[in-house]
Structure 1
């Protein structure tokens, strides 16, 4: 293993010889110099991992040397040693990006702590994470063979997501491989759990939701929006970001934390985990079967329309919910952002919405990102795996009109923001043959149509869709929903489509990533 290399710059370096010897005994390579000019040459010609820099030196001062070091390497950790703790000096040093400082006379313990902080933190963090990971890994394996309720699955999923985010930072292929296997094992267990419990969840009364019975898509408005609107002391903003997974939300949340206090919870999307069903259900506050029953004019999912037209009545469904709850609002807005230019326009003009009682905004960018990845090779190259997909999400959000809108709202102290999604998405890796006629739905994760058939191992068969709160359509005889990371492929040109959609992000089926999704309350700081 290559030794970490330290450069110590001090015009009285001989007095620091005991510290240098101590560091060498601890396995570090230490280079020394008595002036800034020589130090700059050493940094130019050697890989240096950490610099100790004296603040008061003859000739080039410590601050001047620091400034010149930053011209060569902006990221090199520099620790300043000083007798002078004057506030003005420290402000100038901090302004020039000093990483830490030591007060003279220097204590050996201080030196070792600084070295561990800048040179050993990654190794120590990795060792600690690996120890905790192995312990929790075993606990989850044990739990999968015991009776599990909804609350347990939320906890398991949260652990899996947090592990994934930590391993992104560690970049350890061995840990990634073991975690990938655990994801697959958990999705097998979760799919069985959903098959055994989903119908029970649908029969529970609204006031009977608990650790075993999740909040679901039609409950979101009643549980989160209604209590805030009743108080009538906030301007309420309700965002639905289509196809947003929990891990994607967490990387976005990092950018919002300076502006908001965040409270994140998890709820369960209805089946199928697809926009025409789940998002209509959110805005109506009803299951799909009840939307068709009470508002048939707003239900066109049975038709052969293009996908985006299947959600043409979300505003009408939301206004119908507002009316059912007896809210007498005169300022309600509903916005759908489908493309970048329109998003920028809304951002520029957002002040016009800031006096509304309720503003609902649908964002389609994340869903478009997921689908575009399977259609455009360059996107798959940019985001070849889940870690890169998260990074792409964070990069998009940082420069998006959506982030700009959130920053504008954060300046409005009587604002309340609620963010959710209709469903997540899973990275599909296993194709499974399906049979169906030309009227069958086109989604790769669910097939509704006449005489639809597939292998039992990869799909849930709905013999009676009304039991799942899904209305029967005129032609529907059988409905299939894919489980785990399977996706449906027709026999015609089977291998072409098998390869085309392998390793694509899809939704509509049963998996942790699609069904367990975030609902977030934000209050401006």
Structure 2
């Protein structure tokens, strides 16, 4: 059976018989024609893997033939063969979606190399990816076992994300399984690391701590703000590092990416804690002290993120930067997103524009509730894909494109990530116990201590005490917390859904990216 079926159209095809025989000896089936019309008819009626197309043919030119072939079969790869090296011809050909081009006279190995690049590319890339990961596996294993600090953990996670994205190119289920095992081991070690160090970060006096939610604005946004150049601080809710990598190429089309960094979300890795901490520049315990009427605990009535702008004003007061002229925009509904598009030019008059964009978080919650989304975002690969598709067609992208030609700064970040949960852990609590699957607080929590990280006094990690004797517990790795009543139903319902609030690399190490206009 032939490796692939090649169509070769050239008015001098008789002079290329030796080339045809060479390709056939390498296992390719080659169908030849002397003009574009016959080539177009053949593509219309037959499956073809690659078209080799002479640019200069009588009757209908190569570029005209190319256009007709693409109408018939938009995805077929076309290699243009030309005597003419003029730049505008190359621009026309590339603009018409050729896959490759060769300059006459071509030798057989040139053609073979081009075919290999096109047809064997996926297989060769997959093999190379697998081979490279095998070499890197040991390095990652050693890094995990060398007692990494918080900077090294960010580096390890970036490398894991790099290999996770590379593994999409590999068709080796065995290697993907090896990778998932290694990622699982990384999360096990990361949980131990957070258990040992988190309390000291929150109570540190010497400043040897990572950038966290409560210091993100001061350390990553404030230094970027300059008079005369508007800064856009965009917080996309619940955006993991791998999801940022999925939308990064779309940003790169319009903006210059100056720095891709990460920071640590506070615990719980949930919107009402981490995003309020970003805007207030303070831990939830401090926010509650400063704004006792506005801060709402899980078990209290009312919206938990309704006072973000008020918290942000408080942060500016503490930083003595009330001179900053800012706008605050929150996009939750479709109408909000259209207002953002219509109003984006007016924002250029401000020093700072905060844009809170709720989509990914709604996606993860909707995915839990809706069967169709469970199918659409069934794993990390499809979760990334759906995020990319959303952003590409979003009002946020539309709005940013409108100001891409202006002199602006952008800092894009998130409040927390999410993790796909697989392992259920039983927890018993009273009626006041919170319903979140990745963390819970309550007075009489009953759990297996090896399943969770517990803080009997929430104040030691900067969290309010909702009720007397309330303690917080956080799920580790891919665990989720279920009550014993209706246990099997809830386990099956929530297993393999994306949740947040607990301790994992995916939830805690999240992106912060600095960009400017090109």
TM (norm. structure 2) is 0.95
Pairing 1:207-356 to 2, within 5 Å after superposition: 208-209=207-208, 213-229=209-225, 231-262=226-257, 263-301=259-297, 303-306=299-302, 309-329=303-323, 331-356=325-350
**In the alignment, is residue 54 of structure 1 matched against residue 54 of structure 2?**
yes
**358, 383, 386: which one pairs with 2:352?**
358
Shift of 1:302: 6.1
Secondary structure at 1:180's aligned position in 2?
helix
**Residues 416-453 of structure 1 deviation map (CA, whole Å, 9 limit, x = unaligned):** 11111111000111111111111111211111011112
Shift of 1:458: 2.0
Q: Paired residue for 2:490?
A: 497
Q: Paired residue for 1:162?
A: 162
Secondary structure at 1:315's aligned position in 2?
helix
Shift of 1:2: 5.3
Q: Which runs of 5+ in 2 are unaligned?
A: none
Q: Is the 8 A contact 1:427 1:503 kept in 2?
A: yes
Partner Cα separation in structure 2 for residue 125 and residue 363 of structure 1: 36
> What's the Cα RMSD here?
2.0
Shift of 1:71: 1.9
Partner Cα separation in structure 2 for residue 292 and residue 59 of structure 1: 79
Q: Paired residue for 2:176?
A: 176
**453, 466, 471: which one pairs with 1:473?**
466
Q: Paired residue for 2:423?
A: 430
Q: Paired residue for 1:379?
A: 373
Q: Paired residue for 2:441?
A: 448
Secondary structure at 2:274's aligned position in 1?
helix
Shift of 1:410: 1.9
Q: Paired residue for 2:12?
A: 12
- When structure 1 is superposed on structure 2, of 170-179 and 427-436 the one drifting more is 170-179
Q: How many residues align?
A: 517
Secondary structure at 2:484's aligned position in 1?
coil
Residues 22 and 326 (structure 1 numbering): CA distance in 2 closer, same or farther, change over 3 Å? same
Q: Is the 8 A contact 1:236 1:357 kept in 2?
A: yes
- When structure 1 is superposed on structure 2, of 29-38 and 258-267 the one drifting more is 29-38
Residues 234 and 377 (structure 1 numbering): CA distance in 2 closer, same or farther, change over 3 Å? same
Residues 16 and 180 (structure 1 numbering): CA distance in 2 closer, same or farther, change over 3 Å? same
Secondary structure at 1:132's aligned position in 2?
helix
Q: Is the 8 A contact 1:228 1:234 kept in 2?
A: no
Q: Paired residue for 2:481?
A: 488
**Residues 109-141 of structure 1 deviation map (CA, whole Å, 9 limit, x = unaligned):** 422331222122212211211111111122222
- When structure 1 is superposed on structure 2, of 427-436 and 462-471 the one drifting more is 462-471
Secondary structure at 1:424's aligned position in 2?
coil
TM (norm. structure 1) is 0.93
Residues 158 and 2 (structure 1 numbering): CA distance in 2 closer, same or farther, change over 3 Å? farther
Residues 437 and 258 (structure 1 numbering): CA distance in 2 closer, same or farther, change over 3 Å? same
Q: Is the 8 A contact 2:330 2:336 kept in 1?
A: no
Secondary structure at 1:251's aligned position in 2?
helix
**Residues 479-511 of structure 1 deviation map (CA, whole Å, 9 limit, x = unaligned):** 211001111111111111111111111110000
- When structure 1 is superposed on structure 2, of 65-74 and 171-180 the one drifting more is 171-180
Q: Paired residue for 1:144?
A: 144
- When structure 1 is superposed on structure 2, of 487-496 and 74-83 the one drifting more is 74-83
Partner Cα separation in structure 2 for residue 381 and residue 149 of structure 1: 38
Residues 3 and 109 (structure 1 numbering): CA distance in 2 closer, same or farther, change over 3 Å? closer
Q: Paired residue for 1:43?
A: 43
- When structure 1 is superposed on structure 2, of 378-387 and 60-69 the one drifting more is 60-69
